[in-house]
Structure 1
Amino acid sequence: MSRTLPLRRQRTERTPPTRRPLRVRTARFFRAWQLYVLLLPSLVYVAVFKYWPMYGVQIAFRNYNPVDGFLGSPWVGLQNFVRFVHSYQFGQILGNTLWVAFLGLVIAFPIPIVLALLVNQLQSERFRKFTQTVLYSPALISTVVVVGIVFVLLSPRSGLVNNAIRLFGGQPVFFMGSTDWFRPVYVISDVWQNAGFSMVVYLAALAGIDPALHDAAKVDGATKFQRIRHIDLPGIMPVVTVLFILALGNLLNVGFEKALLMQTSLNLPVSEIIQTYVYHAGLQQAQFSYSAAIGLFDSVLNLALLLTFNWVARRSNQASLW
């Protein structure tokens, strides 16, 4: 009996995997060279526009001077970050960014899910495609045009909204010059422009649900609401979780173009966010190191949020990015 034990151990031990010879790996590469050629432009794009610019991040820790260059400018460490944190505008700018981001997450994130669930329940195929096209079309309009439409509709003199307010006996409202209306107008216009685009992702997830589940639920007498609650929502929940983590990781990256175009001298106390402040400090005032430090500060916060909520999702046995 004692002689057979070592033999059993030898049989149960795993032999380390042998590495394939270089000739075999080279042959496999050339067999699928077309796929690597298709992948090459994406790799070049990521390397040139995503990784190479990280070399310039060092100006956030220097007193950058274009004449001296990146390496020749004097090193100042965290001085630019300390300057931003101790700035009298820090609380206001960070608060404005968080408010707009929070409203966008709470209001704009669930609406595409609701739209996808409703469109998925439409029986007429032609009407469903027409609805998808109508909801998706605003995503094809540029941000400049969307803001122009907003200014025209909300004009205090000739705008359609203020004309309707006058019709019902009210007083016209200067929406774009009011600090109380900037955030609602920003979020509503963002929902109108981007909800249809995000809806397509959830419709694709709904299309992957097995129709036999709905057929069995119909046989059991389940209503449409019950099928949505117990079949559709659990079926798309992994996609919702992943997109929610990505949204949290991009929380502080509020749309720069729209915020800048909607800014006026009257709504500036609530419309000045981190991205517009970086633009004003970096390009208009030529404070390159200071603006780079603010942008890096924003990116680090987004990365921390992404890592934190991805860890929470993984610990909760939910879908996660990694």
Structure 2
Amino acid sequence: MNVLTRMWKREWPLHLMLLPGILLVLIFCYVPMAGIIMAFQKYIPNKGMFGSPLIGLKNFQLMIDYPDIGRIFFNTVYIAVMKIIAGTIVPITIAILLNELRKEWIKRTFQTLVYLPHFLSWVLLSGILVDVLSPSSGIFNQLLGLIGIKPIFFLGSNDWFPYVMVVSDVWKEFGFGTIVYLAALTGINPSLYEAAEIDGAGRIKQTFHVTLPGMMPIIVLMFTLNIGNVLNAGFEQIFNLYSPPVYERADIIDTFVYRMGVQQAQFGFATAVGLLKSIVSFIFISLSYILAYRAANYRIF
């Protein structure tokens, strides 16, 4: 007991600092989980969650029978997987290129510039993208016109929309990922580069035989942890940029749940879809942590 008392006296300020975060998680993450019951109800707003009649698994049956549910799940996985792959390759490439810069001020300036979009909300960035990609007045289409290419309606075309989402997401987030991989580069022993240079290896061979193998543990770790996001294609981004003409390729689980639950007031049906997504995401997240532990010896506890 004396040991525990001394530990508490020494560490209670740290626990106090954690209290606001714990309260936020409880209020916004755990308390709302009571709403899961709506997935098994014919929810009636004036009767509330605990007064609406139970209907068992009918909402899940409606979800299975919904004609577009397969396409919605495919869109979600398709966009999310492309974001994971591109969001892994681009930061690694930029980190390696930045590491090759010898002038420190150029390196720090570029690193700051690519990191800035990470702090901007999708509400702001979506307005910028709408202006830049406008088929009539957007600077991108004006540049295409100079080389004889007809204007492309990037945000209104089912063929282009998913790729615009991937490219814009990478543009926003690759600066943050670059910092992670730059930190991994600092852990590589400089003597390995000296030995490779003595053996006659140029910068490109050093990259493939020293740099990338040295980064591989953090690359494997980040990639496996991202597996848990395979059903998170980016609600805020797509919600601010999509429109009915591109629902065929742009509609994902989160936007579908929003439309069914908030706009069409099918609360039980929307909750059932969201609950299924949460269950599948939990399985993927658990799998990603198992893979991260086996591949990179990463563990939470």
TM-score, normalised to structure 2's length? Answer: 0.91
The 5 Å alignment of 1:38-77 reads: 38-77=17-56
Correspondence for 1:249 among 219, 228, 244: 228
**Matched residue, 1:278:** 257
Q: C-alpha displacement at 1:92, in angstroms?
A: 1.7
Q: C-alpha displacement at 1:243, in angstroms?
A: 1.8
Asked if 1 retains the 8 angstrom alpha-carbon contact of 2:226 and 2:288, the reply is no
Distance 2:277 2:90 in 1: 26
The 5 Å alignment of 1:1-322 reads: 22-315=1-294, 317-321=295-299
Q: Percent identity?
A: 39
Question: What is the total number of aligned residue pairs between the two structures?
Answer: 300
2:21 counterpart SS class? helix
Higher RCO structure, 1 or 2 (CA under 8 Å, sep 6+): 2
Distance 2:61 2:32 in 1: 23
Q: C-alpha displacement at 1:213, in angstroms?
A: 3.4
Moved more, 275-284 or 67-76: 67-76
Cα deviation, 1:252-294, whole Å, max 9, x if unaligned, reads 1111111112212321211111111111011111112211111
In the alignment, structure 2 segments of 5+ residues that lack a partner are: none
Q: C-alpha displacement at 1:216, in angstroms?
A: 4.0
Asked if 1 retains the 8 angstrom alpha-carbon contact of 2:224 and 2:291, the reply is no
Distance 1:211 1:179, change over 3 A: same
Distance 1:249 1:138 in 2: 24
Distance 1:288 1:115 in 2: 44
2:42 counterpart SS class? coil
Distance 1:183 1:34, change over 3 A: same
Give, as a single letter, the amino acid of the residue that structure 1 aligns with 2:280: L
Asked if 2 retains the 8 angstrom alpha-carbon contact of 1:156 and 1:174, the reply is yes
Answer with 1 or 2: which has the greater Rg: 1
Give, as a single letter, the amino acid of the residue that structure 2 aligns with 1:64: Y
Distance 1:126 1:300, change over 3 A: same
Q: C-alpha displacement at 1:320, in angstroms?
A: 4.0
Q: How large is the Cα RMSD of the aligned pairs?
A: 2.1
Distance 2:217 2:101 in 1: 23
Distance 2:29 2:244 in 1: 34
In the alignment, structure 1 segments of 5+ residues that lack a partner are: 1-21
Asked if 1 retains the 8 angstrom alpha-carbon contact of 2:42 and 2:52, the reply is yes
Distance 1:41 1:209, change over 3 A: farther
Q: C-alpha displacement at 1:321, in angstroms?
A: 4.0
Moved more, 271-280 or 197-206: 197-206
Give, as a single letter, the amino acid of the residue that structure 2 aligns with 1:262: L
2:49 counterpart SS class? helix
Asked if 2 retains the 8 angstrom alpha-carbon contact of 1:245 and 1:306, the reply is no
Distance 2:57 2:2 in 1: 51
2:144 counterpart SS class? helix
